[in-house]
């Protein structure tokens, strides 16, 4: 088991301190990190909480569905996101925005 948890459905007003206060009841926290939008700097509504031990992370799964800053959060074991071959760069083949019949159409 991993010592890193994914926290979803996070209120946009929630802070890393809010996360630390809620999760520290289950063990020592190494890091609480809210993920921010690159362009706006606002919360994307999810975070990661890393504990110093796997046991603490497993115990903190009990927070799944509990209220934090007015929303029922989703807590699960964080999984590594697979990397693609182009190092995260987006490619646009065709430029049609998903519309194969004609890229000049406007809706």
Task: Walk me through the domains of the chain, giving residue ranges and CATH numbers.
Answer: 4-77 (3.30.70.330)
Percent of the chain with pLDDT over 70: 79
> Could you give the CA distance from residue 67 to residue 54 in angstroms, rounded to a whole number?
23
Tens digit of each residue's pLDDT (9 = 90 or more) over 42-74: 999 999 999 999 999 999 999 999 999 999 999
Is the pLDDT at 86 greater than 50? The verdict is: yes
**Token digits for 7?**
């926290």
Contact between 54 and 1 (Cβ < 8 Å): yes
């Amino acid at each position: 088991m991993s010592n890193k948890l994914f926290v979803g459905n996070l209120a946009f007003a929630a802070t890393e301190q809010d996360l630390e206060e809620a999760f520290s009841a289950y063990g020592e926290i190494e890091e609480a990190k809210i993920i921010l939008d690159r362009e706006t700097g606002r919360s994307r509504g999810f975070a990661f909480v890393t504990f110093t031990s796997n046991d603490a992370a497993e115990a903190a799964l009990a927070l799944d569905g509990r209220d934090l800053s007015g929303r029922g959060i989703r807590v699960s074991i964080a999984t590594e996101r697979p990397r693609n071959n182009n190092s995260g760069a987006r490619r646009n083949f065709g430029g049609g925005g998903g519309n194969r019949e004609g890229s000049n159409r406007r809706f």
